Chain A
């Protein structure tokens, strides 16, 4: 059974870059048919899809975040990562990594990590 675990700083200063990594275990990140996703949830609010990446390197980004966003895959480490630049307080959220089946649904989730943007 696949497991995902997010890691990264819990506090980021405004205007800096938020960087998170998702470690995948129990399955190879190179498995065909899956995409690897980031989803966030501001405190007390709903879910927001950030973007996802396929093993091929193809990426799909939320249009509202695209100009600040980069998702990359690290197959040798069985990990994928998120970089979100020029953050503001509005980027404060619990960030989840997830595995998506062909981009159709999210069938495995990490436990989530809270990132606070504050000086």
Chain B
């Protein structure tokens, strides 16, 4: 059971928009930055969003992040088949003194 809760799967058609939620608590998301990672099967995770809403260089602006209270959201617009992957949120948990990840969300582009 992950400390951060994500939906197991989401799906949408090419060109559409999808959001992936990440629910936490006052000891993690509410008081710390959230980051998001994309993992294509068989490869290492890749940083998509850091500091809750910033994109590293090279990440297209189709990807966005937001945070409100104890939840965070990853948004992807203009879906492409290449976006099919597992997506993970993560943050520091101040009570556990540990980094925590969500359970991951599998994105299917229909």
Contacts and interface: CB of A to CB of B under 8 A. Distances in A.
Interface of A: 37, 46-49, 52, 60-63, 96, 101, 103-107, 109-112
A117 to B, nearest CB: 21
Given A109-B46, A112-B44, A103 B98 contact: no
Contacts of A46: 2, 88, 101-104
22 contacts: A37-B99, A46-B101, A46-B104, A47-B45, A47-B88, A47-B90, A47-B104, A49-B100, A60-B99, A62-B99, A63-B96, A63-B97, A96-B45, A101-B50, A103-B99, A104-B51, A104-B92, A105-B35, A105-B47, A110-B44, A111-B43, A111-B44
B56 A107 contact: yes
A112 B43 CA distance: 8
B98 A109 contact: no
Interface of B: 2, 32-33, 35, 37, 39, 43-47, 50-51, 56, 88, 90, 92, 96-104
Contacts of B2: 46
A17 to B, nearest CB: 22
Given A46-B104, A107-B47, A63 B98 contact: yes
Given A47-B104, A106-B37, 13 more contacts: A46-B103, A47-B37, A47-B88, A49-B90, A49-B100, A63-B97, A96-B44, A103-B92, A104-B35, A104-B50, A105-B33, A107-B47, A107-B56
A4 B44 CA distance: 11
A14 to B, nearest CB: 25
A46 B86 CA distance: 9
Contacts of B100: 49
Contacts of B99: 37, 49, 52, 60, 62, 103
A71 to B, nearest CB: 13
Nearest to B96: A63
A110 B44 CA distance: 7
Given A49-B99, A109-B46, A104 B88 contact: no
Tell me which of B97, B99, B103 has the highest count of chain A C-beta atoms within 10 A of its own C-beta. Answer: B99
